[in-house]
Structure 1
Amino acid sequence: MGRLVMLMSSSLLAAAVLSGCGGGSQPPAQSAAPLTPLPVVTSTAPAPGSEIVISNMSYTVPPSVKPGQQLTIVNKDSANHTVTADENNLFDVRISGGGGTETLTAPTTPGTYPFHCKYHASMNGVLAVA
């Protein structure tokens, strides 16, 4: 009986080896080229037109922004500044000096929105929402 089990095991093993080696009637499978992973692209830079920069006691503002768009305000001056709407208290954001950043959500109604710095009367700008 032990010899019968060994003989059956040998037969099964031989059949498995033959079928794995292409001993059947099907052609061997084509090997696919190895897949190359796509690079992951990340960016920490804000999207164009999404940043207000304060530098040398003045604002650099995008030509226009979309209603409700998120804007990053970057203060490159050493002094603290604000971006404060001239009318209706629509926005009032304080930005720390020395590289501080804050976020401003543009108004949802298209139009032009003059703003100023509460701390420096000579600093003015206009946010155009279109």
Structure 2
Amino acid sequence: MRPTVRAVALLLLGGLLSGCLSAYVGPAPDESSVVTAPPSPAPSSSSTPFTGTVTIRDFAFDPADFTVHPGAVITVRNTGTVTHTLTAQDPTTFDTGPIAPGGTASFIAPSRPGTYPYLCGYHHFMRGLLTVA
């Protein structure tokens, strides 16, 4: 390819990749949004019942959406290769702090029933929903 054509192709490819990435890495969510709980507990997104442990693997929470009782202890295990957190959109509600690869951390679910969106403080595309019922 000629240098000019190659430069234009690289610019176009960069723009496409940038647009794709921006769909996953956006601004931090609004920290003031807490939604009321549905009338019945939301089912876990995984096929197995929630055991009290959330595993972080391959830049995803497993399960991402789960239901607990008020005040339940939730353990988070990082099986990935980089540091992660499990942090409520309002970080004063719950936050594991940094969890190094191979590490674990725990937090206590809120005492007030409701749904609490959360994310990884380092990777905002990693998201989930904690329901307290």
TM class, shorter-length: 0.5 to 0.7
Q: Give the number of aligned pairs.
A: 84
User: Which sections of structure 1, spanning at least 5 residues, go unmatched?
Assistant: 1-46
Quote the Cα distance in structure 1 between the aligned partners of 2:86 and 2:80. Answer: 14
SS at structure 2 position matched to 1:73: strand
Match of 2:93 in 1: 90
CA RMSD of aligned residues (A): 1.9
Quote the Cα distance in structure 1 between the aligned partners of 2:66 and 2:118. Answer: 15
**Stretches of 4+ aligned residues off by more than 3 angstroms:** none
1:59 aligns with 2:61: yes
Q: What code does the residue aligned with 1:82 have?
A: T
Percent sequence identity is 36
**Do the aligned partners of residues 89 and 55 (structure 1) sit closer, same or farther apart at CA in structure 2, a change above 3 Å counting?**
same
* Displacement after TM superposition at 1:87 (Å): 2.3
Match of 2:117 in 1: 114
Match of 1:101 in 2: 104
Normalising by structure 2, we get a TM-score of 0.57
**Do the aligned partners of residues 122 and 48 (structure 1) sit closer, same or farther apart at CA in structure 2, a change above 3 Å counting?**
closer
Normalising by structure 1, we get a TM-score of 0.59
* Displacement after TM superposition at 1:96 (Å): 2.6
Quote the Cα distance in structure 2 between the aligned partners of 1:66 and 1:102. Answer: 19
Q: What code does the residue aligned with 1:91 have?
A: F
Match of 1:72 in 2: 75
CA contact (8 A) 1:83 1:115 kept: yes
